[in-house]
Amino acid sequence: MEDFTLNNGASRITSAACRRNSAHMLPVTDWLSDLPENIAEDDLVEVQFKNTRKGYYRNDEHLPLKKGDMVAVDAAPGHDIGEVTLTGLLVKKQMKKYRIDLSRYEIHTIYRLATEQDLTRAAEAHAKEQDTMIKARALAKSLGLEMKVGDVEYQGDGAKAIFYYIADGRVDFRQLIKVYAETFRVRIEMKQIGARQEAGRIGGTGPCGRELCCSTWMTNFHSVGTGAARLQNISPNPQKLAGQCAKLKCCLNYEMDMYEEAAAKIPSRDIVLHTLDADWHFFSSDPLMEKVTYSSDPHIPANLQTISIEQANRIIEMNNAGQKPDSLGGQSTSAEVAEVGYLSGVGQDDLNRFDNRMSGKKGKRKDPKDKQPRQREQQRRDRQQRLRPRNEQEGRRGDNAANNNDNPINSEKGNE
């Protein structure tokens, strides 16, 4: 990967500054990496460990650190192994973003660049995390605790293990810590996280096709309500509105301010527009397009007319003044209400559902005893017969009677 430089040479960004870390979570681009003043005397360094856990350390030894270096840091007790993700002036900006107060935050130091022995020892410790998590869940269940161990992270020297757990309420895990210490023979640290934080640590791809926001850039989580979906006219389908954390998607809040500003311009749903031809009731709206659709019936979509918000406000002013326009003057919108029957969802997720379609193409004959297609055809005919207008049937009867009177044979029989 080559460095990026403008044609006039005014600015340049190195490939190392925009590379992603090995965890592929919460990446940071050092836009000031090519500036000589980026290196400060009190070097603060951002170091990332497993998944989304980060820490800030001081480079008292003035090591020539750059993004991607593996370092050994003070962990108190012992030491930990992490990856340098940011250096220079932007580190304080990141700390300010994460609301870390230097007066209260204990800044540890960086010992050295990680040696081959440090990396080997850290890899051996991380290899035990999966088995430790499975055993930890079983031990918590045996003690009857309502909690779930979502992840386990060993320190680089293997002296301490952090257990990330999820619980709805407070959990008394004093006995659990004793059991963990006797079983795993390490120093135990318990950290409670939320469902969104767990999804960020695990990572994944969202329905939009991109990596989860909680694992790439989002660190502060705000509550998301169902009102955000209603305001944006999103179908209230729990399966589509929920993310991998089983909570409402955080992206529902991204456009809330714009929708609230646009929705404030829409007339109230209770206002009825009066014209000389009909009374129009609110049916739906499109805040971003600034369009409102009205129906001539308050209960069903009938004679739908779509007008702009400006037109609606103009008619409301005329009604308040005791005047009525000739018509709404909007664009007609057809609302085709289809007859929807009950559709069972059983078998839709079956992987063999495509085999039934392919079997018909291979020329497989249908069983003549199978009467289901005949029954469906008969039901379709009966439904068409019920929907046929009565006046059409009466008209046909009148035509037949007229034809019988005009027939000379019938007239002769009548004369006889």
DSSP state of 211: B
Counting every residue written for the chain, the total comes to 416
Distance CA 63, CA 85 (A): 15
* Beta-bridge partner residues of 333: 304
Distance CA 351, CA 360 (A): 17
Distance CA 41, CA 395 (A): 98
Q: Which two tokens stand for residue 296?
A: 């001539």
pTM given for the model:
0.66
Q: In whole angstroms, how far apart are CA 378 and each of 157, 368, 383? A: 76, 17, 9
Per mean pLDDT, which range of 176-185, 220-229, 349-358, 368-377 is the poorest? Answer: 349-358
Q: Which two tokens stand for residue 117?
A: 């022995």
Taking each helix axis as running N to C, give the angle between helix 408-415 and helix 390-406, from 0 to 180 degrees, rounded to the nearest 10.
70
* DSSP E strand boundaries for 206-333: 273-274, 279-286, 291-295, 304-308, 331-333
Mean pLDDT over 75-79 rounds to 86
pLDDT in tens, 272-289: 999 998 899 999 889 889
Q: Which two tokens stand for residue 294?
A: 């009205």
CB half-sphere exposure, 382, CA atoms < 13 A: 6
Per mean pLDDT, which range of 98-102, 122-126, 278-282 is the poorest? Answer: 98-102
Q: What is the pLDDT of residue 102?
A: 81
Give the three-state DSSP class for 414.
helix
**In the structure, what pLDDT confidence band is assigned to residue 8 with cuts at 50, 70 and 90?**
low
pLDDT at 357 over 50: no
Q: What is the pLDDT of residue 97?
A: 85
More confident residue, 275 or 21: 275
Per mean pLDDT, which range of 195-199, 221-225, 327-331 is the poorest? Answer: 327-331
Give the three-state DSSP class for 277.
coil
Mean pLDDT over 130-143 rounds to 94
Distance CA 19, CA 13 (A): 11
Mean pLDDT over 88-93 rounds to 87
Give the three-state DSSP class for 180.
helix
Q: What is the pLDDT of residue 27?
A: 85
Q: Which two tokens stand for residue 250?
A: 């955080």
The three-point CA angle 293-297-298 to 5° equals 85
Mean pLDDT over 4-17 rounds to 56
Mean pLDDT over 116-138 rounds to 94
The three-point CA angle 71-74-79 to 5° equals 75
pLDDT in tens, 230-262: 888 888 888 889 998 989 999 999 999 999 999
Q: What is the pLDDT of residue 238?
A: 84
Q: What is the pLDDT of residue 389?
A: 55
Q: Which two tokens stand for residue 29?
A: 């681009």
Distance CA 180, CA 161 (A): 10
Q: Measured in whole angstroms, how far is the alpha carbon of residue 32 from the centre of its chain? A: 33
Q: What is the pLDDT of residue 406?
A: 47
Q: Return mean pLDDT, the chain.
A: 80
Name the percent of the chain in helix, strand, coil, to the closest 5: 35, 20, 45
Mean pLDDT over 216-234 rounds to 87
Q: What is the pLDDT of residue 358?
A: 44
Phi–psi pair at 130, nearest 5 degrees = -65, -45
Percent of the chain with pLDDT over 90: 42
pLDDT in tens, 188-206: 999 999 999 999 998 889 9
DSSP state of 209: S
More confident residue, 216 or 36: 216
Terminal-residue alpha carbon distance, the chain:
107
pLDDT at 175 over 80: yes
pLDDT in tens, 35-73: 766 655 568 899 999 988 999 999 988 888 888 899 999
pLDDT in tens, 364-390: 455 544 455 666 677 777 766 666 655
Q: What is the pLDDT of residue 310?
A: 93
Nearest to 118 by CA among 67, 83, 162, 143: 83
